[in-house]
């Protein structure tokens, strides 16, 4: 877990980050979200002391980091950079092996770990093991960057706009792979992004920042449906509907959906874990159809355009 | 003199050539190694402390802009002559390229790569050794290559201050007008620069895996090459001799000392600009100089008697075109007014005033003429003009001034002085081409440089001053239609010199005494 208390950083006496506090439980993903220059990257870099705060404390797993040598806990903290920054004079394997080597792992163990990570990140151990970073595509490079951060099995992962340099297709494919990887599931992750979509996709908790301060922190739902200020609602305004649909699972609407239906042409079974956006997509592509939703208790509900909109409106009213 | 090609020259002089090359490599690498020791850490330091970088780069940049010969000149009062000032100067030259390239190489690394290294948990030293130095390596090596090539070039100047190297051949060749000798120094030093640059380029592009190995290789090469300088160096001797590059290559110089006196004194080569001072400062004990040089007096040196007569007489006399003597019938009489009036010690004193006390040649000339009761106020001049030439050193300026004053005081001729005509060839050609009417020349120069006599003739006519003068006079009249007037009296010959005190302590008055002393 990570606890940050009253972090402040001044540049030329002007605060870049002022008085920031948050806590992230073990295994949670937190996203630092905001526009450029809002202090989110500075905040991230203060966690592993790449930038030393002028005041405030950082606790990693209940240890005050300022009482330790930064080199020590940096090795236990994975770090992924926006521009990837692989070491150009190291092979792929050597890049991945950097931290294990610093920790003094034995050669076989390092080799084994490199192979394992290459495979997990959908790179070929045969083809990619001993080539140099410049021989890889951008997407492959960032996969190696992720492998490098994960190599020594850190409990914490810091990611500074890790997908910022990639094209949308590559980005989507890497995110999909990450979502399926065990390596990421139990990690406490702090991720910096300015991409609202990405933030909602990956976050257990979002921390929205502006001008060096936290404007609101909480679950995606809280930010979306209970904005703390006009700034917050303004920040999501352009994508509001899409975000709301994507963040509302059918499970949340289940109680307001009808149990019966009038006529049936095509019945399509969907999982209650799918969101409203996906439900609409299925209805639209297939035409005159009805969705069949079965919850864990075995109960069935039926939905078409009208009933989904109705249920969503009612759901929103309960939140407000 | 028989014609010799470059290859024959190099084979004949191969032991000298090898020694000079080794010295050259040694000088280059000692200074390079020392520069690496200082410049690498300094470059790394200023890469970390950007505030200090303009200061450090500025100072090393200024050092770089000092002309090399001037830098060597500055070194002499501080460090004397020999390898120490030479290496210091070379060391200073090598600093800038290495510091600047180290700094540029390290600061040029993508900052996010350094950030990644720090974020992975590397400490300062690990970042330096694993990331910064390997990535900056090609740039740093480029700086080392530049420094090496500069040092090979500048090291030729080391010959001026008795530090050896291929400059000995180059400067000797220039002084003796020997193309072979110049090339024997210039070609190996150029090849050395190309070869070292090429070898270092191989290191520069070496596989980064072998980096550690390569980094250790550089100092090892430096140390190995360094030792070549000291192995090739001169041994301990009772007396330390320093000769000019010209003297080293002349039969009436070091070669004559070896063959006639059997005197093998293992001299260092040094520029005459610093040689006298070095003798005075006891850095050297025996030097080769000119018999009437003002610095003899300034530094209290004595000439060793040339008891076997290897140095031909260099009596000065006006050398006049026959046509001019016909055109100006009164000229010969006037020029001969000086004949026999100036002996060695008077000339030395006059030179001392000009070269050392920095009095003007005109003033010194007039003072002398007044004292010798030869001075007369200038007469109103007619329309005819006599053109006087001189070579480019103090004694010639003084003589030219005296002749000008004598002509103006005793005739109605105008005088036009064309002084500072460089060396013998330039002056002589000016006379031959009717650009001047006369200039003071030395019998020995006329004999050796202008007439090129055979060996037999040479040994025959250098027996005495009279025979040299007569031979030269006769030959010039026949060959060039020029006349040697009566000698002025002094003999500005080559000579070996020692400090007066040491010479009397060791009772060395002649070159044979010197030989005897060294053989004891």
Interface check for A96 against chain B (CB to CB < 8 A): the answer is: no
Residue B450 has pLDDT above 50, yes or no: yes
> A187: phi > 0 → left, psi -120 to 50 → alpha, else beta; which?
beta
A85 with B126: Cβ contact below 8 A: no
Question: Does some domain include residue B24?
Answer: yes
Domain match, B502 and B385 both = no
* Rounded distance between C-alpha atoms, residue A111 and residue A182, angstroms: 20
Domain match, B124 and B203 both = yes
Domain match, B225 and B284 both = no
CA neighbours closer than 13 Å in the CB half-sphere of residue A258: 14
Domain match, B304 and B322 both = no
Question: Does some domain include residue B106?
Answer: yes
Contact residues on chain A for B112, CB-CB shorter than 8 A: 81-83, 85
Domain match, B414 and B500 both = no
What pLDDT, on the 0 to 100 scale, is given for residue B351? 92
* Rounded distance between C-alpha atoms, residue A12 and residue A25, angstroms: 34
A74 with B119: Cβ contact below 8 A: yes
> B9, B180 in Cβ contact below 8 A?
yes
Q: Which of B110, B119, B208 sits opposite A79 (nearest CB)?
A: B119
Interface check for A165 against chain B (CB to CB < 8 A): the answer is: no
Indicate the number of domains in chain B.
3
Residue B438 has pLDDT above 80, yes or no: yes
Contact residues on chain B for A86, CB-CB shorter than 8 A: 116
Contact residues on chain A for B128, CB-CB shorter than 8 A: none
Residue B370 has pLDDT above 90, yes or no: yes
Where helices occur in B111-210 by DSSP H, the ranges are: 111-119, 124-126, 133-154, 167-176, 179-204
> B518, B265 in Cβ contact below 8 A?
yes
* Rounded distance between C-alpha atoms, residue B204 and residue B225, angstroms: 19
Among A224-238, B261-275, B505-519, whose mean pLDDT is lowest? Answer: B261-275
ipTM for the whole complex? 0.87
Question: Does some domain include residue B192?
Answer: yes
Q: Which of A48, A82, A86 sits opposite B119 (nearest CB)?
A: A48
What pLDDT, on the 0 to 100 scale, is given for residue B12? 83
Interface check for B110 against chain A (CB to CB < 8 A): the answer is: yes
Domain match, B205 and B249 both = no
CATH number of the domain residue B330 falls in: 3.10.105.10
Q: Work out the pLDDT band at B2, boundaries 50, 70, 90.
A: very low
3-state secondary structure of B292: coil
Domain match, B275 and B352 both = no
> B15, B184 in Cβ contact below 8 A?
no
Residues A54-98: tens digit of each pLDDT? 999 999 888 888 888 899 889 999 999 988 899 999 999 999 999
Which domain range does residue B336 map to? 316-492
Q: Which of A74, A83, A89 sits opposite B121 (nearest CB)?
A: A74
In the structure encoding, which two tokens stand for residue B452, read together?
């090129």
Domain match, B373 and B287 both = no
Q: In what order do the strands lie in the sheet with A300-303?
A: A266-270, A289-294, A300-303
* Rounded distance between C-alpha atoms, residue B107 and residue B151, angstroms: 26
B208 with A83: Cβ contact below 8 A: no
- Angle CA(A190)–CA(A53)–CA(A202) in degrees, nearest 5? 10
CATH number of the domain residue B281 falls in: 3.40.190.120
B126 to chain A: nearest residue by CA? A102
Q: Which residue has the tokens 């950097």?
A: A98
Interface check for A206 against chain B (CB to CB < 8 A): the answer is: no
Residue B1 has pLDDT above 50, yes or no: no
Interface check for A88 against chain B (CB to CB < 8 A): the answer is: yes
Domain match, B406 and B363 both = yes
Determine the residue among A72, A80, A89 to mutate to test chain B binding: the one whose Cβ has the most chain B Cβ atoms within 10 Å: A89
Contact residues on chain A for B123, CB-CB shorter than 8 A: 71
* Rounded distance between C-alpha atoms, residue B205 and residue B155, angstroms: 27
Q: What is the pLDDT tens value at each position of chain A, 320 positions in all? A: 899 999 999 998 888 999 999 999 998 999 999 988 899 999 999 999 999 999 999 998 888 888 888 998 899 999 999 888 999 999 999 999 999 999 999 999 999 999 999 999 989 888 888 899 999 998 999 999 999 999 999 999 999 999 888 888 988 888 888 888 888 888 999 999 998 888 988 889 999 999 999 999 999 988 988 889 999 989 888 888 888 888 888 888 888 887 777 766 677 778 888 888 888 887 776 666 677 777 777 787 888 778 888 888 888 888 76
User: Which letter does DSSP use for residue B377 in this model?
Assistant: P
Question: Does some domain include residue B1?
Answer: no
For chain B, give the percent of residues with pLDDT over 90.
Answer: 47
Q: Work out the pLDDT band at B3, boundaries 50, 70, 90.
A: low
Quote the mean pLDDT of chain B: 87
Domain match, B439 and B508 both = no
In the structure encoding, which two tokens stand for residue A246, read together?
């994507």
Interface check for B123 against chain A (CB to CB < 8 A): the answer is: yes
In the structure encoding, which two tokens stand for residue B465, read together?
């001053």
CATH number of the domain residue B54 falls in: 1.10.3720.10
What pLDDT, on the 0 to 100 scale, is given for residue B212? 63
The candidate with the shortest Cα–Cα distance to B312, out of B264, B260, B268, B352, is B260
In the structure encoding, which two tokens stand for residue A205, read together?
């908790």
A151 to chain B: nearest residue by CA? B120
Helix-helix angle B179-204:B133-154, to 10 degrees:
180
Residue B98 has pLDDT above 50, yes or no: yes
CATH of domain A2-238: 3.40.50.300
For chain B, give the percent of residues with pLDDT over 70.
Answer: 94
> A200, A220 in Cβ contact below 8 A?
yes
Distance from CA of B44 to the nearest CA of A (A): 20
Residues A92-145: tens digit of each pLDDT? 999 999 999 999 999 999 999 999 999 999 898 888 888 999 999 989 999 999
Residues B309-354: tens digit of each pLDDT? 888 888 999 999 999 999 999 999 999 999 999 999 999 999 999 9
Interface check for B121 against chain A (CB to CB < 8 A): the answer is: yes
Domain match, B343 and B485 both = yes
Domain match, B107 and B26 both = yes
């Amino acid at each position: 877990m990570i606890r940050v208390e009253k972090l402040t950083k001044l540049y030329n006496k002007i605060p870049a980050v002022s008085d920031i506090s948050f806590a992230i439980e073990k295994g949670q993903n937190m996203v630092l979200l905001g526009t450029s220059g809002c202090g989110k990257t500075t905040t991230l870099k203060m966690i592993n002391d790449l930038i030393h705060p002028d005041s405030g404390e950082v606790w990693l797993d209940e240890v005050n980091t300022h009482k330790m040598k930064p080199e020590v806990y940096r090795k236990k903290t994975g770090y992924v950079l926006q521009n990837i920054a692989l070491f150009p004079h190291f092979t792929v394997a050597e890049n991945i092996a950097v931290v294990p080597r610093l920790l003094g792992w034995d050669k076989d163990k390092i080799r084994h770990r490199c192979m394992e990570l290459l495979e997990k990140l959908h790179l070929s151990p045969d083809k990619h093991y001993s080539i140099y970073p410049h021989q890889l595509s951008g997407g492959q490079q960032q996969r190696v960057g992720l492998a490098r951060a994960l190599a020594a099995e850190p409990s914490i992962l810091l990611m500074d706009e890790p997908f910022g340099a990639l094209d949308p297709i590559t980005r989507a494919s890497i995110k999909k792979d990450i979502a399926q990887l065990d390596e990421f599931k139990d990690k406490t992750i702090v991720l910096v992004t300015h991409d609202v979509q990405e933030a909602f996709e990956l976050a257990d908790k979002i921390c929205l920042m502006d001008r060096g301060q936290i404007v609101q922190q909480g679950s995606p739902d809280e930010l979306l449906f209970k904005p703390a200020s006009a700034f917050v609602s303004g920040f999501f305004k352009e994508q509001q509907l899409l975000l709301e649909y994507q963040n509302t699972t059918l499970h949340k609407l289940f109680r307001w959906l009808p149990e019966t239906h009038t006529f049936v042409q095509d019945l399509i079974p969907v999982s209650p874990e799918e969101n409203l956006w996906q439900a609409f997509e299925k209805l639209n592509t297939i035409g005159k159809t009805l969705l069949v939703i079965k919850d864990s208790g075995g109960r069935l509900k039926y939905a078409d355009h009208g009933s989904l909109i109705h249920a969503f409106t009612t759901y929103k009213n309960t939140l407000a | 003199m028989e014609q010799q090609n470059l290859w024959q020259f190099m084979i004949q002089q191969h032991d000298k050539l090898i020694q000079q090359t080794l010295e050259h490599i040694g000088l280059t690498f000692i200074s390079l190694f020392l520069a690496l020791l200082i410049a690498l850490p300094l470059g790394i330091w200023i890469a970390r402390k950007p505030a200090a970088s303009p200061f450090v780069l500025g100072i090393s940049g200024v050092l770089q802009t000092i002309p090399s010969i001037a830098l060597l000149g500055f070194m002499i009062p501080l460090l004397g002559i020999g390898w120490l000032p030479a290496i210091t100067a070379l060391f200073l030259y090598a600093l800038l390229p290495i510091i600047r390239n180290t700094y540029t190489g390290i600061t040029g690394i993508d900052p996010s790569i350094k950030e990644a290294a720090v974020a992975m948990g590397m400490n300062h030293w690990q970042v330096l050794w694993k990331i910064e130095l390997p990535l900056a390596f090609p740039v740093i090596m480029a700086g080392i290559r530049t420094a090496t090539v500069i040092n090979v070039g500048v090291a030729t100047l080391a010959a001026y201050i008795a530090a050896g190297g291929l400059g000995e051949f180059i400067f000797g060749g220039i002084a003796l007008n020997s193309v072979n000798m110049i090339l024997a120094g210039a070609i190996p030093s150029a090849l050395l620069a190309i070869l070292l640059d090429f070898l270092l380029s191989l290191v520069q592009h070496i596989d980064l895996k072998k980096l550690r190995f390569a980094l250790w290789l550089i100092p090892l090469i430096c140390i190995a090459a360094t030792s070549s300088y000291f192995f090739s160096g001169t041994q301990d001797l009772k007396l330390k001799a320093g000769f000019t590059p010209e003297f080293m290559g002349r039969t009436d110089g070091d070669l004559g000392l070896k063959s006639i006196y059997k005197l093998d004194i293992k001299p260092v080569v040094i520029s005459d600009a610093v040689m006298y001072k070095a003798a005075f400062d006891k850095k050297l004990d025996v030097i080769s100089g000119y018999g009437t040089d003002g610095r003899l007096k300034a530094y209290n040196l004595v000439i060793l008697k040339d008891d076997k007569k290897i140095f031909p007489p260099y009596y000065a006399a006006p050398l006049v075109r026959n046509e001019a003597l016909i055109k100006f019938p009164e000229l010969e009489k006037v020029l001969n007014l000086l004949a026999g009036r100036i002996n060695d010690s008077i000339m030395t004193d006059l030179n001392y005033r000009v070269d050392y006390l920095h009095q003007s040649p005109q003033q010194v000339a007039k003072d002398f003429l007044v004292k010798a009761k030869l001075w007369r106020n200038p007469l109103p001049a007619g329309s005819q003009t006599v053109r006087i030439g001189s070579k480019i050193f103090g004694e010639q300026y003084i003589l030219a001034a005296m002749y000008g004053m004598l002509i103006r005081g005793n005739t109605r001729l105008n005088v036009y002085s064309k002084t500072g005509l460089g060396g013998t060839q330039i002056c002589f050609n000016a006379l031959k081409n009717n650009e001047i009417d006369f200039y003071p020349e030395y019998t020995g120069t006329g004999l050796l440089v202008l007439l090129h006599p055979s060996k037999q003739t040479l040994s025959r006519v250098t027996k005495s001053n009279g025979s040299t003068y007569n031979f030269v006079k006769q030959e010039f009249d026949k060959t060039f239609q020029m006349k040697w007037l009566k000698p002025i009296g002094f003999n500005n010959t080559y000579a070996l010199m020692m400090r007066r005190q040491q010479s009397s302590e060791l009772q060395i008055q002649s070159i044979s005494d010197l030989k005897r002393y060294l053989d004891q």
